[in-house]
A and B are shown apart, each in its own frame.
Chain A
């Protein structure tokens, strides 16, 4: 079955830049999406179609894609950005939706 691979954890100090990667063989063919989830809350979409930002999401959140890896970048990290982040995409046929295992972002 198709999988998306994320690092389990990323740590940064406030004001620094956090980069969270997501790797998958079908990513050159399928868009990637990123979600932020805080404890006890439903996920929130922060990036769609690899690099687009929904309205209401701060400009410090950005996304990029290169080959089989997509990256969520959070510039000038703030304490409120501490959360779990999940990438999501689809298999090469576009039928099956897949989530990455999630990355816990810790703001030191």
Chain B
């Protein structure tokens, strides 16, 4: 069964850090371009960033609101994607999804993990 399972969410103070993980199974993780997408409470979907497969260079791209604060990485030996979030702001409060897919689309999604940034 194709599956993505996020973990690591929780409550953190402004300025703090948090690392999210996404465990993949049921597909060839090493070949996949992986993205993080977030959704603030009551708001729409927002792309956070992406990491390409190592065969495609393994490079990362980030949305402007998180660039310089968030880092996406992957461990293909563990079939796991990571999102390191530093200098967190209240506006980073959201459900964070990892996602991937074919045809340029996101057809595999995790269940999401909630991150709350509050003092």
Contact = CB atoms under 8 A, between A and B. Distances in A.
A31 interface: yes
Interface residues of B, number: 21
Given A1-B64, A33-B106, A95-B61, A42 B45 contact: no
B106 A45 contact: yes
B47 A98 contact: yes
B15 interface: no
Contacts of A101: 44
Contacts of A88: 45, 105-106
Contact of A97 (B35, B109, B111): B35
A35 B67 CA distance: 25
Given A42-B109, A42-B110, A33 B47 contact: no
A49 B103 contact: yes
Nearest to B35: A97
A42 B112 contact: yes
Contact of B44 (A42, A86, A95): A86
Interface of B: 35, 37, 44-47, 50, 61, 63-64, 97, 101, 103-107, 109-112
Interface of A: 1, 31, 33, 35, 37, 42-45, 48-49, 52, 54, 84, 86, 88, 90, 95-102
Q: A-B pairs with the 10 shortest C-beta distances?
A: A42-B109, A97-B47, A102-B44, A48-B105, A45-B107, A99-B45, A33-B105, A48-B103, A101-B44, A45-B105
